[in-house]
Every structure is written in structure tokens, then in C-alpha cells.
Amino acid sequence: MSTRTPAAPVLAGLDIGSTHCKALLCDGSGHVLARAGRRTPRGADGHTHPVPDLPAAALEALRACVAAAHTVPDAVGVTGMAEAGVPLDRTHSPLGPVLAWSDPAPGAEAARLADVWGRGELHARTGVLPQAKVPLAKWCALVREKPDLPVRMRRWAGAADLVAHALTGRVGTAATFAQRTMAWDPVAGDWIPELLAEARLTPHHMPHVHAPGAALGRVTRDAAGATGLTAGTPVVVAGHDHPVGAWAAGARGAGQAADSMGTAEAVLTVTSRPPHAHAAGAEGMSWGRHVDGEGWIVLAGMQGSGALVEWFCDRFLDSAGGERDASRYEEFARLVAACQGPPDALVIEPYLYGRSSPRPDPDAALTVHGLRPHHGAGHLARALLEAAAHHARWMADTQAELTGAPPLGVTLLGGGTRLRSWTALKAAVSPWTTAVCAEPEAAALGAAAWAGAALGHAPDAVGAPATPLVADPSDAELYRARYRTRFLPLVARAGPEASARLVAREPRGTRRP
């Protein structure tokens, strides 16, 4: 066992992402000692993650990280994508593959739940809107397909929970994961039996929700042998990657905001109280507790952000993937850099998978406006980044309206920050003070911070510095004018009638069939 004191621990963070499983080791202040990553396994259908390949990839990343650092951590924290998960039987064996958050198949069940309970009422009660990705819709779809599932199922495990189970042999979760299921009450802090009953489940089928920073369990001897960790090391499920990363980037108090740039993008604003639920729901935004269990957050998502870059690379660059991923991202960056200059007539609506927020519209599509004969691949690549930057500002603007105050500042974090041309566009488009988190794997660092809490080490002590971005004033004027005069008029058209009804009506009580 380590003889280090809680005042000087080595901490590990794991981030189970849609594209990669990332690991890092840091000291008690957040200084990173080593990093490693592995590709997140996906099934042939693209909407599942094979078990045991997913936890194996995460543990391999952790093993490589420990080997590179030549030291073992005193505690391990796990974060990752929400909504993805798998039912486990009474022996904690999976009853199928991990269901990805992006699977559209449960959409019919989400629509049924909205009809039965009321779209606005579900959002006001749970903080999330009925969508295909929410686990409650997944459970309803699973039980419709396999009616004996409630008898066979012992626990639901999210993707991060599954990795924590591989380390400890125990199943548990964090409130920021629970509140993404649409079966958890973020105000009362408990499961909602009547919603679980829609899938013939009970709170006993759900994982125990641990307090922030509380250890789920300790590393088993088998897991220690597979990873190089010390048996008995505490393991913490830190929570949903977006708020966990925002915490590491310094978005901890009311008025602070973070823009998490991954395969999907999320803009998060910290508040001292919940927002007006029906107004937030009409804009497609979720709300709930922050990772510390004290503050509140408003969260807006863009399902395809970094996915826009992936889409471009797949269609216009060498898409061999694997070991050549880095080279094609470098080529993408070169294309963008070759098209520097003021914005031109090319404007894109960046919706590969519909629009979640603001103005939710599942039928919104990737649409190109102003394409001219002189435009080439580089112009298109740059316009995609401009569009994503414009949309992120729209999400932040809307959150400012919901919370009643502009953000004190927005910190950019996540893998997308490696594209400097993208972060420069964000600073030019945004009227808020903009900074870039110095740690590209902020979510993993946040998980390490909350792992330290299990040792009595303050999670506030672990964080990453942020570098302010200063846009050229003339560029900023042009891009902000483009946002107001071209982007918003194109995208801010009336959304589906359901959204209009949601914002217009008052709560009307729960309906049952």
C-alpha cells in the first residue's frame, strides 16, 4: 500500500468517452504525471459497445498510464458518457451489450412517455426531456422486447459504473448519472418509482447513488493484477463527464460556464438555484445538481460537434482511422489554416443529427448556404467550425436568458480545444470572456479530483489553469455581426409545435393512461 499522505496523493482519473477511453495520473494539485488512451470499442451496428471489451479498453488505458508514470495512484475516479449502459443479472453479468446513448431505436418509447406523462411535466420532475437516449426509454424498449427482463435484471450499470465494477466488483453510481436517466428526482435526490414502473422496474433495480467523492469500493486483487494498481485502492464514480470536466476547468460557482468540446458538445452554466423548468425545457435544456451536490447546472447539448470534424474527415480525407487518426486531424487543421481571413458568404447549419437545443428540432439537417464555385474543401472545413462556434454561442446566450445574467466567463475544454483555429473562432464569436482549459482531458482530471475526496483531499485543490483568449477586435466585430445577421436568422426559425406548446402552457399535473 502507498505510504503517501492525503496531503500529497497521486490520483487517477478515467474518462469513458464515446470515441476514446482516457486515463491520467496527477498529483494533489492537478499536475499531470502521465496520460494514456484507448479507442472505445463499438459493435458493428454502431449503437452498442461490446462487453467485456469496453471495460477492458478502459483498464488497459489505466494500466498503460500507471506504467508510464512508474507509480501507482492512491485513489481512482471514473467519469464518462451518460445514458449509455447495460442491465446486469444477479451475478453482475451483462444481459447484452452496452447500449450507446446515440441509439435512436428507443425513440418510440420516449414519445409514448411524453404522451402519457406530458413532455413538460417529465422535464419539470426529472430535469431531462423525453428523448431516445434517456435510459428510461431504453428500459421500456428492452422490456417490450424481452418481457422477462425485470425478473432477470438485478442492476442497471452505466458505462462508467461498469468500469468501476471491473475494478471493485461492486455496482454504484453518482447523482449526475442518475439524473440523466429520466427516472431520478434531482430535488428530492431519489429514484421515482412511478416512472420506473413504466418499464416494470423498481428502485431496487437501480444502482446505489453514492454521495459526491464517496468510494464505491476498493480495487480487487484481480483488478490490481490487470492494471498494476494496488489492491485496496478506493474507487469513486465521479459522475457525468460534462459537469465533472467543467469542475476541473473551474466552473464551480454560480455564473461560471464551461463549453465541453467532444464528439458531442455541451455548454453548462452553474447556478445557485434550478432554472424555470418549463422555459428550460422549451429550449431543450436539462438541469440538475452540479457534481458537488450543492450547486445547480443548466446543460445544453449539440449532438454532433466534434462529429462534424469526423464526418468531414470520413468523406473528404483519408478515413483509414486507427493509427492514422492523428494525421487526418492534422490535415483538417491545415485545410482550415489555409483559408484564414474574414467570414465570407458560406454559412452552415451544423445539424448532423437534428437539433437538441435551443429550439429543439429533430428534423434540422446539415445545410450549406452560399456555396460558390470558388469554395473548396478548406472553406467547407472552416465553415463547419464557424457554425459549431455560432451554435455554442446560441446555447450560452439562451442559458444567460434562462438564468437572468450573462456568464462571468466561458472556459473551453475537451478534445476539440486541440484545434486552435476552432478555439480562436469561439473567442471571436463570443461576447463573453473566453478561456481555454490547459488540460485537454479535463473530464479525467475532474474524476481524479473527486477520487481524492475519498482520501479526505479537497477536490477544490485539483484543477487546471485556463488561458484567456483575446480575439482580434476587427475579426470579433465581423464574426459577431455574422452571428446576428446570418446565422441566427437561418437557424432560429420556429421549431416543432411541441416545443411551442411546452413554453406556453402551465404545468397541468400528471396524466396517467
User: What value does the mean pLDDT take over residues 450-463?
Assistant: 96
Asked if residue 140 lies in contact with residue 113, where contact means CB atoms within 8 angstroms, the answer is: yes
- The predicted-structure confidence for 226-279, as pLDDT tens digits, reads as follows 999 999 999 999 999 999 999 999 999 999 999 999 888 999 999 999 988 888
Predicted pLDDT of residue 173? 98
User: What value does the mean pLDDT take over residues 190-201?
Assistant: 98
Band of the pLDDT at 5, cuts 50, 70, 90? low
User: What value does the mean pLDDT take over residues 6-23?
Assistant: 91
Q: Give the separation between CA 121 and CA 144, rounded to whole angstroms.
A: 24
User: What value does the mean pLDDT take over residues 114-141?
Assistant: 96
Predicted pLDDT of residue 328? 87
Predicted pLDDT of residue 6? 63
Say which residue the cell 464574426 belongs to.
479
User: What value does the mean pLDDT take over residues 141-157?
Assistant: 97
**Is the model's pLDDT at 501 over the cut of 60?**
no
User: What value does the mean pLDDT take over residues 30-48?
Assistant: 94
Q: Give the separation between CA 273 and CA 298, rounded to whole angstroms.
A: 10
Q: Quick one: which H or E segment has residue 118?
A: none
Predicted pLDDT of residue 252? 95
Q: Give the separation between CA 160 and CA 163, rounded to whole angstroms.
A: 5
Band of the pLDDT at 119, cuts 50, 70, 90? very high
User: What value does the mean pLDDT take over residues 39-55?
Assistant: 93
Q: What is the mean pLDDT of the chain?
A: 91
Q: Give the separation between CA 448 and CA 455, rounded to whole angstroms.
A: 11
**Is the model's pLDDT at 508 over the cut of 70?**
no
**Is the model's pLDDT at 150 over the cut of 80?**
yes
Query: Which comes out higher in pLDDT, residue 126 or 500?
Result: 126
Going by C-beta distance under 8 Å and a sequence separation of 6 or more, which residues neighbour residue 236? 75, 76, 77, 78, 210, 213, 214, 215, 216, 447, 450, 451, 453, 454
Band of the pLDDT at 186, cuts 50, 70, 90? very high
Say which residue the cell 503517501 belongs to.
4
Predicted pLDDT of residue 503? 36
Determine the residue type at 412: L
- Cα 194 to chain centroid, rounded: 27
**Is the model's pLDDT at 79 over the cut of 70?**
yes
Band of the pLDDT at 439, cuts 50, 70, 90? very high
CB atoms within 10 A of CB 376: 12
Predicted pLDDT of residue 493? 74
In order of 74, 305, 313, 338, 352, the CA distances from 331 in angstroms are 40, 18, 9, 11, 22
**Is the model's pLDDT at 504 over the cut of 90?**
no
Q: Give the separation between CA 125 and CA 367, rounded to whole angstroms.
A: 35
Band of the pLDDT at 414, cuts 50, 70, 90? confident
Residues in the chain, how many? 513
Three-state secondary structure readout of 262-282? CCCEEEEEEECCCCCHHHHHH
Band of the pLDDT at 327, cuts 50, 70, 90? confident
Q: Give the separation between CA 364 and CA 139, rounded to whole angstroms.
A: 27
Band of the pLDDT at 7, cuts 50, 70, 90? low
Asked if residue 35 lies in contact with residue 441, where contact means CB atoms within 8 angstroms, the answer is: yes
Band of the pLDDT at 117, cuts 50, 70, 90? very high
User: What value does the mean pLDDT take over residues 380-402?
Assistant: 96
Band of the pLDDT at 4, cuts 50, 70, 90? low
Q: Give the separation between CA 429 and CA 488, rounded to whole angstroms.
A: 12
Q: CA-based Rg of the chain, rounded to a whole angstrom?
A: 22
E-strand stretches of 123-171:
155-158
Q: pTM of the predicted model, to two decimals? A: 0.89
- The predicted-structure confidence for 328-363, as pLDDT tens digits, reads as follows 889 999 999 999 888 888 999 999 999 999 999 989
In order of 210, 389, 435, 495, the CA distances from 405 in angstroms are 32, 21, 19, 25
Asked if residue 445 lies in contact with residue 463, where contact means CB atoms within 8 angstroms, the answer is: yes
Q: Record the cell numbers describing residue 358, joined without a space.
A: 435551443
Determine the residue type at 458: A
User: What value does the mean pLDDT take over residues 12-18?
Assistant: 95
